Amino acid sequence: MKFDTPATTNPIDNGKVIGHPHDRIDGKLKTTGRAPFAYERNDVVANQAYGVILGAAIAKGSIARIDTRDAEAAPGVLAVVTHKNAGKVGKAKANTVKLMGGPKIDHYDQAIAIVVAESFEQARAASHLIRVNYEAEQGAFDLAAATATAVKPKLGDSDPADSKVGDFESGFAKAAVRLDQTYTTPDQSHSAMEPMATIAAWDGDKLTIWTSNQMIDWARRDLSETFGLPKKNFRVVSAYVGGGFGSKLWIRSDAVMAALGARAAGRPIKVALARPQINNNATHRPATIQRIRIGANRDGAIQAIAHESWSGDQKGGQPETAAMQTRLLYAGADRMTAHRLATLDLPEGNAMRAPGEASGLMALEIAMDELAEALKMDPVQLRIVNDTQVDPENPKRSFSHRNLVGCLKQGAERFGWDRRSAMPGQRREGRWLVGVGMASAFRGNMAMDSGARITVGSDGQVKVETDMTDIGTGSYTVIGQTAAEMLGVPLEKVTVLLGDSDFPKSSGSGGQWGGNSSTAGVYAACMKMRAAIAKKVGASATDVVFENGQVRFQGRSVALGDAVGSAGLTVEDTIEFGKLAKTYAQATFGAHFAEVAVDAATGEIRVRRMSGVFAAGRILNPKTARSQVIGAMTMGLGAALMEESVVDPRYGYFVNHDLAEYHVPTHADVPVQDVLFLDEVDDKSSPMKAKGVGELGICGAAAAIANAVYNACGVRVRNYPLTLDKIVPYLNKA
């Protein structure tokens, strides 16, 4: 099914199931331990052994010698696999480096061996018996030092590394008020609850993996490229995924090493990355250095804006595209953005929740706050003045739907923004300095082709099959709601099966595209089912009404199960979005507001309340959407105040590689979070008239907190996170 024109009226608009806050249909399974995650699948294949991965102890260089004899002789050991006996192991195009290292080492903790044994404890003990001699080389680990050799990276034609409209330098020089500041964001870890984990089982040259992965079809492709076997030889199952935030968009070393270990041992094996391995073995959000220059008139209208960002990655990697949102968020005639990529020998940098915008808005939205102060203008009003309904770099392309102004106005009223003092340090409660801050939220809306298979049985039960994944976002529920709405049955009559490559290819979960795209695919399949049922009962597809488990047409009413007949009916279809992205600028919007308290003596920061108003098309399920947004706002709080993967510049690894030392927000850190979704639909985004929402909540949240800290105590911190050492020395001087 092609989606070429807006679906102005369609069955999804009935709103009997879609748009309602249904409980997650997988919720009881998860809270009672009956939703098995990858490592727990003892039921899928018999005689499972255990694998433990050994990682490299250097960041750059090569293996001079690796001795596995003691490990192979250890109790219970079935096989030890290294580069010497693994056979041909390639690199998938999506991976920056090989997921099995040796003899060349690309980064610290790169997988170099796997030990397979009868028990996990035996495999772990034997892994310590492997002796490795390295030839270490000097690596590059410092982004600031590497910017001098950074290069312009190759990105897609639709979103090139650099953009230019007008004459920024001239426009900036003429501006009445100018801002020129540099901001930094650190390396960050995804820290998903479920580690990367895989069970692998070979049947001849065919491999099945039960794994924790966000994108089933991408995983099959990556396995095919890694092992040099046809894609059809691989089956990937990820029925439940315990969080990913982008770290599981592509296969990781657990999948590759499990496959190698299972082949060597001649048995199925299970592998999980231990928590201390994840931060260095898997991917992370790269650090950035961002220079922002804005020139404005005295009335606040931006005349010139430039955003330059430097980040680092392994050779052949990609940058953190932190300047992308600046191309679309605010108006201004003279514009320039640029991304530069430095080669670093740290573990691979890659997508983490809202890649680009999350880091970019941490800088841009502080810059807007600083500009508002220079203009002596309210920060909310500054953003309203610079709103735009068209792509500033391509004015002929309008937004499919944009209501940033509505978010700003309702957010300000809801939060009580009018009680704010523009002068920092004016509100004190005992030892606490109290302030408020705000920031815009912006996240691009992408649509991905997505398919589904629908079966209606003679009993009126509906089954949906698609390889879409649920990474804790509520995919099971919104997909079930879509089928229920389209076929006129209660949600309880729908069974949803996800995360299996035997099912039709879906959009997968990532980039905030999953909910809107996958439900649109189910919509397409349901439309095909409606047409097939109409034909079966001898009616026109446009005249048939599906409601309350009945099919109504020509004054007649037939039970859905009777309409499909004793054999039932199965159809399959895919939604295709064509040139939608070129026709319209698509994005989601929001406004963050935060109140913080800063201890006047110690610099300790307490976030007291957070509020967010968001515009993201039709909200398919307000309960699951709110859950996603408050989780994203919480990640924004962590990014503002505590999250940082600290690099050891001597050895090139992240020192704080577990949850004891990589600090994330806990219950004590998180206040009550107020969330409001504006009532809107976007009929150009998809037939669901929805957009993504899962990543929008993190975008701008950190900057709102940073701006609130400045309003509280007068200390402007431009280098995240806002730790005590960046506050205390300046408290008495502010």
Domain ranges of the chain: 11-35+448-576, 38-138+197-274, 378-446+583-730
In whole angstroms, give the CA distance from residue 6 to residue 2: 11
In whole angstroms, give the CA distance from residue 116 to residue 79: 5
Residue with tokens 């105040």: 641
Average pLDDT value for residue range 89-115: 97
Average pLDDT value for residue range 31-42: 96
In whole angstroms, give the CA distance from residue 112 to residue 57: 10
In whole angstroms, give the CA distance from residue 222 to residue 228: 10
Q: Rg of the Cα trace of the chain?
A: 27
Structure confidence at residue 8 (pLDDT): 67
What stretch of H or E contains 444?
strand 432-444
Tokens of 356: 């680009």
Structure confidence at residue 157 (pLDDT): 80
In whole angstroms, give the CA distance from residue 394 to residue 21: 38
Average pLDDT value for residue range 538-566: 96
Average pLDDT value for residue range 308-325: 97
Integer CA distances (angstroms), 464 to 514, 567, 570, 573, 577, in order = 16, 17, 10, 12, 21
Q: Are 472 and 542 in contact (CB under 8 A)?
A: no
Q: Spell out where 37-124 has E strands.
A: 49-55, 61-67, 77-82, 104-105, 111-117
Structure confidence at residue 182 (pLDDT): 98
Residue 599: phi and psi, rounded to 5, are: -65, 125
Q: 159-179 burial, b for 16+ CB within 10 Å, e for fewer?
A: eebebebbebeebbeebebbb
Fold topology of 378-446+583-730: Aldehyde Oxidoreductase; domain 4 (3.30.365)
- How many helices (DSSP H) and strands (DSSP E) are in the chain? 17, 31
Which of 1-15, 296-310, 713-727 is the least confident region? 1-15
Average pLDDT value for residue range 491-517: 98
Structure confidence at residue 732 (pLDDT): 77
Average pLDDT value for residue range 310-330: 97
User: Model-level pTM greater than 0.95?
Assistant: yes
Integer CA distances (angstroms), 49 to 42, 258, 264, 269, in order = 11, 10, 12, 4
Integer CA distances (angstroms), 176 to 151, 172, 282, 298, in order = 33, 9, 47, 6
Q: Residue type for 438, please?
A: M
Can you state the angle between helices 475-487 and 514-536, rounded to 10 degrees? Answer: 30
User: Is there a shared CATH topology between the 11-35+448-576 domain and the 378-446+583-730 domain?
Assistant: yes
Judge whether residue 733 has pLDDT over 90. no
Judge whether residue 709 has pLDDT over 90. yes
Backbone conformation region of residue 538, classed left if phi is above 0, alpha if psi is from -120 to 50, else beta: left
Q: Which of 89, 560, 483, 159 is nearest to 323 (CA)?
A: 159
Structure confidence at residue 4 (pLDDT): 78
- The count of C-alpha atoms lying within 13 angstroms of the C-alpha of 547, restricted to the half-sphere facing its C-beta, is 11
Output the average pLDDT for the chain: 97
How many CB atoms neighbour CB 316 within 10 A?
13
- Is 11-35+448-576 a domain of CATH 3.30.365.10? yes
Beta-bridge mates of residue 289: 184, 310
How many CB atoms neighbour CB 580 within 10 A?
18
Beta-bridge mates of residue 387: none
For 323-342, how does the pLDDT look when each residue is reduced to its tens digit (9 = 90+)?
A: 999 999 999 999 999 999 99
Average pLDDT value for residue range 458-484: 98
Structure confidence at residue 158 (pLDDT): 83
Kindly name the residue from 194, 465, 572, 695 that is annotated as catalytic.
695
In whole angstroms, give the CA distance from residue 658 to residue 639: 16
Catalytic status, residue 695: yes
For residues 618, 624, 627 and 629, what is the CA-based torsion angle, rounded to 10 degrees? -20
Cβ-in-10-Å burial (0-12, 13-18, 19+) of 531 comes to middle
For 256-304, how does the pLDDT look when each residue is reduced to its tens digit (9 = 90+)?
A: 999 999 999 999 999 999 999 999 999 999 999 999 999 999 999 999 9
Residue ranges in 662-720 assigned as alpha helix (H): 701-713
Integer CA distances (angstroms), 311 to 271, 395, 401, 720, in order = 32, 30, 32, 15
Sort strands 587-599 and 163-165 into parallel, antiparallel or unpaired: unpaired
In whole angstroms, give the CA distance from residue 402 to residue 406: 9
What stretch of H or E contains 705?
helix 701-713
Structure confidence at residue 734 (pLDDT): 54
Fold topology of 38-138+197-274: Aldehyde Oxidoreductase; domain 4 (3.30.365)
In whole angstroms, give the CA distance from residue 624 to residue 515: 11
Let me know how long the chain is. 734
Q: Which of 210, 203, 233 is nearest to 220 (CA)?
A: 233
Structure confidence at residue 5 (pLDDT): 67
**Strand, helix or coil at 487?**
helix
Structure confidence at residue 156 (pLDDT): 83
Average pLDDT value for residue range 214-233: 98
Q: Which pLDDT band holds residue 209 (cuts at 50, 70, 90)?
A: very high
Q: 204-243 burial, b for 16+ CB within 10 Å, e for fewer?
A: eeebbbbbbbbbbbbbbbbbbbbbeeeeebbbbbbbbbbb
Average pLDDT value for residue range 673-692: 97
With pLDDT > 70 as the criterion, what percentage of the chain qualifies? 99
Judge whether residue 652 has pLDDT over 80. yes
